[in-house]
Structure 1
Amino acid sequence: MPRFAANLTMMYSEHAFLDRFAAAARDGFRAVEYLFPYEYPAAEIARRLRESGLTQALFNLPPGDWAAGERGIAALPGRETEFEDSLALALHYATATDCHRLHAMAGLVPVDADRTAAHETYVSNLRFAARRCAQRAITLLIEPINTRDMPGYFLNTQQQAHDIVLAVGEPNLKVQMDAYHCQIMEGDITMRLRKHFAGVGHVQIAGVPDRHEPDDNELNYAFLFAQLDALGYDGYVGCEYRPRAGTSDGLAWFQPWKEAQR
């Protein structure tokens, strides 16, 4: 049975961020993820996790200037020192929250940019980060993101991501496979999952096309969860979706798996 992590950036937005931990636990989740924790002290987030009995499954490295539209810096030439500093901050939070998966966002690359330079920068930064993460038993992740939601993002397809993992050559670098992004960009999710499973380090879900609950949409998630079980996936499935209304009211999809979370 899959184990689910509530994404506290998108879910439970009816609560203040630090109150979302307890809300997720009340609904039966035993793990959480989110985009960024950096607005809050690491010790405070760790306390909320302990009090709610939750595991921190994943979060992202600082993405650059998010408010200005940046979506990561790992593939941006000239930002290497900033990337190293962002990794150090993320590792501080990971240690405090006992989190063993970190996602490094690639960033937006203009159409006329030198993609070879971006690729080389990405590979170099990821190799550096993976080696630092390995010292703390942390898996570093990269995620293909669809061009409809994030035009210009450097990493878009499963094969591209796994090719980059191969180029980096570090065993603790894996791919974060988000079924929502994969369906929009490529489809054929089951076969892609089977093909690349050994390199998948985290899975995320959302309804397609509107990124709501994983229930009444074009993907058969019950089938995909069975595929994950058959492949022996033992990680968390991140629920990175925007609820149609109240988060708790939209959890009917979660009920068949709720007891298995304990």
Structure 2
Amino acid sequence: MPKFAANLTWLFRELPFMDRFAAAKEAGFEGVEVLFPYDCPTQDMRDQLVVCNLTFVLMNCPPPNATGGRQGFAAVPGLSDRFRHDFERTLRFAQVLKPLHIHIMAGPAEGPEAEAVFIDNLRWAAARAPQQSLTIEPINRFDMPGYFLADYDTAARVLDAVAAPNLALQFDAYHAHRITGDVMGSWTAHGHRARHVQVAGFPGRHEPRGGDIDYPAFFSRLDSDGYTGWVSGEYAPETETGEGLAWIR
């Protein structure tokens, strides 16, 4: 079976944030991710990771926009300075939290100019942090309307253009189903590019069990393909988190 991580932004929300680390460890997770770990004391989070012996798998860039609006700027024409400023801030947090991966969000945009901007910014980021693993993730436009990186062919084209060893694909099976309706086919075509995997059930984005995605078959496929990265549960529990964790066992 794969190595499972808990997304603490989504899971254990019945608990105060700092208590979620210990809860994840007690539930059987060996790794955690936090989408936007910018509002809590960074050293306190690092202390929880150490005390609980948890791997910090992933965090997102950019920091959240306090005034709302775009989630990401990396592909938005005219906002490269904003993206690079935010990336520098993310790296400062990463120095303490030591994430395996930083997910760079493209933001809302479209067209060839946006793709060129995205490629340019990713080349810059990969060179700016050559020892840090970076990921990009296709996100479906039902959940995030207007998001630039919304299909796997574009992601493959961008990754090939950037051609940086520290940049790879983040494969979310829920988004893959929304985008293509064929998780296994999407993995067959693009899984060799993946460095991190996320899962959630469909429909409903609840626990990854039952529903339209055959997760036992998907997990077996990851094993047979030799995938050695983490698989993170990024979903909204139907009840309390602990009651729905049979999928990791």
TM range (shorter): over 0.9
**Alignment match of 2:231 (pick from 232, 237, 242):** 237
Q: Deviations over 1:191-232 (max 9, x none)?
A: 321222221111110001110000121111010000000111
Alignment of 1:67-106 (within 5 A): 67-106=67-106
Deviation at 1:68, TM superposition (A): 1.4
Aligned to 1:170: 164
Q: Distance in 1 between matches of 2:66 and 2:237?
A: 22
CA contact (8 A) 1:178 1:204 kept: yes
CA contact (8 A) 1:106 1:153 kept: yes
Matched, 1:116 2:104: no
CA contact (8 A) 2:36 2:64 kept: no
User: What is the TM-score when the length of structure 2 is the normalising length?
Assistant: 0.96
Q: Distance in 1 between matches of 2:21 and 2:88?
A: 25
Q: Deviations over 1:164-185 (max 9, x none)?
A: 1111121211110100000011
Task: List alignment gaps of at least 5 residues for structure 1.
Answer: 256-262
Q: Distance in 1 between matches of 2:92 and 2:14?
A: 28
Alignment of 1:115-134 (within 5 A): 115-134=111-130
AA aligned to 1:122 is: F
Alignment of 1:1-262 (within 5 A): 1-63=1-63, 65=65, 67-109=67-109, 115-134=111-130, 137-255=131-249
Deviation at 1:71, TM superposition (A): 1.1
Deviation at 1:95, TM superposition (A): 2.1
AA aligned to 1:45 is: M
Q: Distance in 1 between matches of 2:66 and 2:244?
A: 29
1:32 and 1:159, CA in 2 relative to 1: closer, same or farther beyond 3 A? Answer: same
Q: Deviations over 1:101-136 (max 9, x none)?
A: 000100012xxx6x22211111111111111221xx
Mean CA deviation greater in 198-207 or 92-101: 92-101
> How many residues in Structure 1 have an aligned counterpart in Structure 2?
249
Q: Distance in 2 between matches of 1:89 and 1:78?
A: 19
AA aligned to 2:29 is: F
CA contact (8 A) 2:38 2:63 kept: no
Deviation at 1:246, TM superposition (A): 0.2
1:126 and 1:206, CA in 2 relative to 1: closer, same or farther beyond 3 A? Answer: same
User: What is the TM-score when the length of structure 1 is the normalising length?
Assistant: 0.91
Deviation at 1:64, TM superposition (A): 5.2
CA contact (8 A) 2:33 2:59 kept: yes
3-state SS in 1 of match to 2:129: helix
Deviation at 1:187, TM superposition (A): 2.3
Q: Which runs of structure 1 show a deviation greater than 3 angstroms over 4 or more consecutive aligned residues?
A: none
Q: CA RMSD in A?
A: 1.4
Deviation at 1:7, TM superposition (A): 0.4
Q: Deviations over 1:226-248 (max 9, x none)?
A: 00001111110011000001001
- Percent sequence identity is 42
Task: List alignment gaps of at least 5 residues for structure 2.
Answer: none
Deviation at 1:67, TM superposition (A): 4.9
3-state SS in 1 of match to 2:86: helix
AA aligned to 1:105 is: M
Deviation at 1:66, TM superposition (A): 5.7
